[in-house]
């Protein structure tokens, strides 16, 4: 669930993800409030036959593609702006013995369309690539074969914030940025989609996603006390745990939704 800016790469102005993000999530396999069990649950629930082709936009470290290639025999391509995460994705593919089935492309997922139509087009937690839900669903459709499936991971409000300050404390731009779950599913229907599966995060999977960032950050700070980002990262670590349990953990939901065009 990325909410950090794209920035020039430090070694030559290549498109890349801001370094603060890769520091916080340096040991994450999944860059959303989704643990490996839920990712496996989703893969099994979709009943994907061997040979299913998958495009994963903003794929991060490639855990979806790599584990589903191992467990279900899918093949596919992941696209991401982070050179750090893509290096980890390629290493992960080798670890799992699926490097012949999956590949990874460094690039901006916004506007990316597969060269050949795919069976499944996914964007798990990065709907900014299409400026929101509607645009991202439309973008993913452009890569699908007829009858193909869209997978969208996206936040929703478990509790609607009482005011805009609370929404911003949940890392939302405003209360209007997200919808409650019933309204989100209704939005998919308004876009001409049937919701055919969903797997939702719970508070434990939120904890594993967010709390793990604190240890990553602290260990990085201990090893890099004089880095130009140290003061910023220290401030984030100082305020982050209390803000998370007071706001994000209580108000934010998140899930992956499988959609088929009607």
Provide the pLDDT for residue 63: 97
Give residue limits of the domains in the chain: 6-261
Tens of each residue's pLDDT in the chain, 262 residues: 544 444 433 333 357 888 998 999 988 989 999 999 999 999 999 999 999 999 999 999 999 999 999 999 999 999 999 999 999 999 999 999 999 999 999 999 999 999 999 999 999 999 999 999 999 999 999 999 999 999 999 999 999 999 999 999 999 999 999 999 999 999 999 999 999 999 999 999 999 999 999 999 999 999 999 999 999 999 999 999 999 999 999 999 999 999 999 9
Model confidence, pTM = 0.92
pLDDT digits (tens, 9 = 90+) for 67-117: 999 999 999 999 999 999 999 999 999 999 999 999 999 999 999 999 999
Provide the pLDDT for residue 1: 57
Alpha carbons 72 and 211: distance in angstroms, whole number: 30
String of b and e for 112-122 (b: at least 16 CB within 10 Å)? bebeeebbbbb
Number of CB atoms found within 10 A of residue 27's CB: 12
Provide the pLDDT for residue 248: 95
Provide the pLDDT for residue 4: 42
* Fold (topology level) of 6-261: Rossmann fold (3.40.50)
Alpha carbons 13 and 71: distance in angstroms, whole number: 38
70: left (phi over 0), alpha (psi -120 to 50) or beta: alpha
Contact between residue 7 and residue 16 where contact means Cβ atoms under 8 Å apart: yes
Provide the pLDDT for residue 61: 96
């Amino acid at each position: 669930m990325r909410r950090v800016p794209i920035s020039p790469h430090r070694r030559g102005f290549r498109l890349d993800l801001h370094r603060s993000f890769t520091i916080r999530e340096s040991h994450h396999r999944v860059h959303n409030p989704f643990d490996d069990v839920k990712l496996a649950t989703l893969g099994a629930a979709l009943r994907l036959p061997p040979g299913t082709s998958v495009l994963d936009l903003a794929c991060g470290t490639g855990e979806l593609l790599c584990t589903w290639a191992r467990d279900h025999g899918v093949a596919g391509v992941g696209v991401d702006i982070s050179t750090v995460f893509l290096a980890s994705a390629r290493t992960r593919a080798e670890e799992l013995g699926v490097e012949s089935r999956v590949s990874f492309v460094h690039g901006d997922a916004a506007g990316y369309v597969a060269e050949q139509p795919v069976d499944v087009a996914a964007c798990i937690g990065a709907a900014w690539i299409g400026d929101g839900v509607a645009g991202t669903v439309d973008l993913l459709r452009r890569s699908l074969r007829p009858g193909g499936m869209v997978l969208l991971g996206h936040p929703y409000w478990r509790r609607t914030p009482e005011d805009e300050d609370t929404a911003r404390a949940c890392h939302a731009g405003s209360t209007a940025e997200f919808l409650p779950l019933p309204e989100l599913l209704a939005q998919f229907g308004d876009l001409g989609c049937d919701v055919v599966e969903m797997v939702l995060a719970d508070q434990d999977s939120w904890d594993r996603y967010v709390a793990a960032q604190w240890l990553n950050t602290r260990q990085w700070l201990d090893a890099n006390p004089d880095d130009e980002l140290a003061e910023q990262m220290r401030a984030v670590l100082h305020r982050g745990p209390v803000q998370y349990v007071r706001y994000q953990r209580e108000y934010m939901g998140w899930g992956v939704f499988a959609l088929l065009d009607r």
